[in-house]
Structure 1
Amino acid sequence: MTSALVRLEGIERRFGAVMALSGADLALRPGEVHGVLGANGAGKSTLFNVLGGLLRPDAGRIEVGGKAVILASPRDAWSHGIGLVHQHFTLVPRLTVLENLALGTRGPGGRPGAVRDAALEVIGRTGLSVPLDEAVEELGVGDRQRVEILKALLRDPRILVLDEPTAVLTPAEAAGLFDLLRDLAGDGRAVALVAHKVDEVLEVSDRLTVLRDGTSVLTCSREETSEAEIVRAMVGDDDVDAAALGLGDRAGPRGVVGQHESRIVAELVGVRVAGRGGSGLDGVDISVRAGEIVGVAGVDGNGQRELAAVLAGRLAPESGTARLPEAVGFISQDRSREGLVADFDLTENVALAFQRKAGFRSGSWLRWEALEGAAEEIRRRHDVQAPSVRTLASSLSGGNQQRVIVGRELEMAGDLLVAENPTRGLDIAAAAFVHEELQRLASDGVAVVLISTDLDEVLTLSHRIMAIARGGLREVEEAHRTRQGVGSLMLGTDDRNG
């Protein structure tokens, strides 16, 4: 048996009253891709933040190359060849992509020309293309994720950890990334992939570990386990839907709920909007009826951000017409910039939206007791792992932050809900719950626009599907309602106008 390149044993870490890790173990071997799965709050990100030198463990032992080490900082981790691609972006928004890639690079290799050459070489091998001279703040979430991956690969680490790297990548990009991970492992590196989707881990991993409640509950080779066993280890329940699992094509609902189909709730006609680091919108037409889920599938950066913002009433069209209802819920894909205020607690973050709802304001004063009750109901109903509603958003895991946003905006949806990658960062059980809630809203007569880079999610949930490419929308015909058919339209390979 190959000895581990890095080993973590009995790792414990507490955040106040929350025990994030309680004796977690992990061994990463050279030449292998190791998948790490777990529900939200299971401790995955905390464990790898310990390995990356961002957190000091309260107890436990870390070995690199068979020798005990203390990783007191990210610099210590890099000195041992450990590279970490974070789930939450660590880029400087006002700097260009190239400048972000150069940050922290020492010596001649830090010269812009040398960094550009190295970046282009990695881009050529991975296909994860990004605009090197564009400011990061102008990029979509998918492009920023690609920058994070490129930044880690430029340091040529011996041990590479990627925390949810495929959350905003297209299937083709994810497949290219998996090929790269196999190549990196084939060169003798230890590669760890943190993921929520079982099929991704089974596709690319040689071995896998499942964390639950801060403890390692399953470690085995890919051949020794099954999807059902992994799900039971993660959440103790294998009754979840196919889109949450990522199990491929499923026949989604067809047509519109009959009792609602005559009423158009939201409509855009000939809408044009300049791009914000992407394609913008180029004469878009879309209508959504009460009781239907309209799925919008596309490669990140093709106008999804602008479409979501216009439908949510947050961005006015430069031309064309937008007819929208007054009560709109909006689940933004970018929870850190548009969804939550990190330094606010759960109640305050709920108040950001609920202050407009009846019953939560008395004159010019907010009714904090009512808001706290609403926040507690969201925490309970959506299983937000937080000690109380006074917990700061910054102390929650990414998945639990998303649970707060989803719970808040589902309650805000009166006539229309705009959901932009609503299950990004959620575990299997939470994603399944969100899917059920979207379907419940539609059955209650709410119009839902589901904008997602997850094709399985779109195919499973949508009554109608539209593909967005280069700022144009085109409805997907029944004959093309497959991963391959929708995928080709997402890439704009069909020459008919949308």
Structure 2
Amino acid sequence: MPNHAPIPDPVPRLQLRRISKRYPGCLANDAIDLTIAPGEIHALLGENGAGKSTLMKIIYGVTQADSGEVIWQGQRVTLRNPAQARSLGIGMVFQHFSLFETLSVAQNIALAMGAAAGTPRQLEPKIREVSRRYGMALEPERLVHSLSIGERQRVEIIRCLMQDIRLLILDEPTSVLTPQEADDLFVTLRRLAAEGCSILFISHKLGEVRALCQSATVLRGGRVTGHCVPADCTDQQLARLMVGEAAQLIANYPKVTGGDAFLEVRGLSWHNPDPFGCSLKDINLEVRSGEIVGIAGVAGNGQDELLALLSGEQRLNRNEGATLRFGQEPAAHLHPDARRRLGLSFVPAERLGHGAVPELSLADNALLTAFQQGLVSKGLIRRSSVEALAEEIIRRFGVKTPDSQTPARSLSGGNLQKFILGREILQQPKLLIAAHPTWGVDVGAAATIHRALIALRDAGAAILVISEDLDELFQISDRLGALCGGRLSALHATVDTRLSDVGGWMAGQFAAPQSRASATR
């Protein structure tokens, strides 16, 4: 762990002077100035596509600026790669994970720290100690591909905390953490700042920014448009600085009862052959047409396994005896494409590599799951129809991109999420299953996604949302439950549920909440 005494020298830790970066068809950063002092927790705010990620990559050496200066502790530097940035004391936690899936936790951390830090085996005790100290338990010998999304995020954070860092860049670090885990992380960040470590914090959770950050710089359209002290602002004021118009960003949607059950799961038990995975135990779940059911839970408690079994990526054996029906049709043994023919659409947790192929264009990514929507005729792709669908998704969901031929990897996280969700919604599903639908997206994009989900619900679709954002679940869900240790609590009407009830379910306390007219949170 870094152990820096606070630096009384007034020289800034980092200065950016008129940093600019252009990509084909896009000026990502336009003459940006930014200053961070030693021991300061500084927020970088802006909607998806505002240029935040590009700027962070320049600071971390992943990308080089076209023009401008980077001043590190009073000295001009040229950051040519992340290894050089780390040697100066710059660490970064990416929103999209930079881990080798076939290697273990310890091997990934050893690669980042270099040979001088020791072998993976030598690092294992320290990994355990640091992860326990900050409440982010990790087993160093586990292979990354066996970890849940939340556990992979922990690897990224622990990897940085083990280095001798003077500037820690965090890109949406709490997006897959529970409120308690986020609070624990904030304790760590405040401790690091008190020791002199500077922190650059990117988050679309405005309450977190207001509680944690001492100052903020706002980007819009690749330019700095303002500075503020977050603690002196309301969420609406911060949202207005980011997107220009804060109206209808935070809505209270009416709750509904729904009609007949479309998704029915009874007695679903499944043994996970992965010794580090989570097995499911007697899952009973019903999602009605015309309602949204939300499922909360700490990462690693069976969310990934349940999603795989519902989507068809993992199928049940015929002797396992569980019931899985889509609209009264047995579906437990069907392949994913057969389930889609019954009306399923699916938004996976991972955007790149699972929800979209990074190297393919948006048009080709639209074809991946919507090919049954008249986009293929007699074995031939109807290219004009594919491109028309992609353009309609871009238009209706406000996806910021030059055109439908843009590779998926070039989009910001929020814009890619809007595209994936739009692709699934425009197929007019009878059942939509969405994992972490607004993970890492800005308040404007989150509002767009929530409105689309509510509109789909009101059109009669059954919707299942699995999320670790409890505010989101209370906002859009009609009924709520939680997973813990592979078991699912009973579902309860959101209006009869408190935040503390869901917290108890996430800890395995499945007693029913007391009935009340509205949720007091």
CA contact (8 A) 1:253 1:460 kept: no
User: 1:338 & 1:107 partners in 2: Cα distance?
Assistant: 33
Identify the residue that residue 397 of structure 2 maps to in structure 1: 382
Per the TM alignment, residue 338 of structure 1 is displaced from its structure 2 partner at its CA by 1.2
CA contact (8 A) 2:393 2:423 kept: yes
CA contact (8 A) 2:481 2:505 kept: no
- The verdict on how the C-alpha distance between 1:292 and 1:477 changes in structure 2, with shifts beyond 3 A counting, is closer
User: 1:157 & 1:433 partners in 2: Cα distance?
Assistant: 37
User: 1:108 & 1:158 partners in 2: Cα distance?
Assistant: 19
Identify the residue that residue 90 of structure 1 maps to in structure 2: 98
User: 2:503 & 2:491 partners in 1: Cα distance?
Assistant: 11
Answering whether residue 49 of structure 2 is matched by residue 41 of structure 1, we say yes
Answering whether residue 345 of structure 2 is matched by residue 334 of structure 1, we say no
Per the TM alignment, residue 81 of structure 1 is displaced from its structure 2 partner at its CA by 0.8
Q: Deviations over 1:419-473 (max 9, x none)?
A: 1101112111111111111111111110000111110111111111111111111
User: 1:6 & 1:297 partners in 2: Cα distance?
Assistant: 39
Q: How does 1:259-298 map to 2 (within 5 A)?
A: 261=259, 263-275=260-272, 277-298=276-297
CA contact (8 A) 1:353 1:412 kept: no
User: 2:113 & 2:124 partners in 1: Cα distance?
Assistant: 12
CA contact (8 A) 2:21 2:27 kept: yes
Q: Deviations over 1:305-356 (max 9, x none)?
A: 1222222233223421111251111011111231000110000000001111
Query: Bigger shift: 136-145 or 280-289?
Result: 280-289
Identify the residue that residue 216 of structure 1 maps to in structure 2: 224
User: 2:388 & 2:358 partners in 1: Cα distance?
Assistant: 20
User: 2:115 & 2:381 partners in 1: Cα distance?
Assistant: 55
Q: TM-score, normalised by structure 1?
A: 0.93
Runs (4+) of structure 1 exceeding 6 A deviation are: none
Percent sequence identity over aligned pairs: 38
Q: Equivalent residue of 1:310, what SS?
A: helix
Identify the residue that residue 246 of structure 1 maps to in structure 2: none
Identify the residue that residue 375 of structure 2 maps to in structure 1: 360
Q: Equivalent residue of 2:426, what SS?
A: helix
CA contact (8 A) 1:289 1:447 kept: yes
User: 1:266 & 1:107 partners in 2: Cα distance?
Assistant: 52
Q: Equivalent residue of 1:423, what SS?
A: coil
- The equivalent position to 1:405 in structure 2, one of 389, 411, 420, is 420
Q: Deviations over 1:72-100 (max 9, x none)?
A: 11122112111111111111101111111
Matched residue type, 1:29: A
- The equivalent position to 1:473 in structure 2, one of 488, 506, 511, is 488
Per the TM alignment, residue 271 of structure 1 is displaced from its structure 2 partner at its CA by 0.9
- Which consecutive residues of structure 1, in runs of 5 or more, have no partner in the other structure? 244-249
Q: TM-score, normalised by structure 2?
A: 0.89
Query: Bigger shift: 75-84 or 110-119?
Result: 110-119
User: 2:115 & 2:378 partners in 1: Cα distance?
Assistant: 61
Per the TM alignment, residue 108 of structure 1 is displaced from its structure 2 partner at its CA by 4.9
- The equivalent position to 2:363 in structure 1, one of 347, 350, 358, is 347
Q: How does 1:179-194 map to 2 (within 5 A)?
A: 179-194=187-202
- Which consecutive residues of structure 2, in runs of 5 or more, have no partner in the other structure? 1-8, 328-341, 513-521
Matched residue type, 2:367: A
CA contact (8 A) 1:311 1:324 kept: no
Q: CA RMSD in A?
A: 1.8
Query: Bigger shift: 284-293 or 118-127?
Result: 118-127
- The verdict on how the C-alpha distance between 1:309 and 1:113 changes in structure 2, with shifts beyond 3 A counting, is closer
The count of corresponding residues between Structure 1 and Structure 2 is 484
Answering whether residue 472 of structure 2 is matched by residue 457 of structure 1, we say yes
Identify the residue that residue 385 of structure 2 maps to in structure 1: 370
Matched residue type, 1:485: D
Q: Equivalent residue of 2:404, what SS?
A: coil
Q: Equivalent residue of 2:226, what SS?
A: strand
- The equivalent position to 2:35 in structure 1, one of 18, 27, 31, is 27
Q: Equivalent residue of 1:143, what SS?
A: helix
Matched residue type, 1:203: A
Q: Equivalent residue of 2:126, what SS?
A: helix
CA contact (8 A) 2:112 2:159 kept: no
Per the TM alignment, residue 254 of structure 1 is displaced from its structure 2 partner at its CA by 4.1
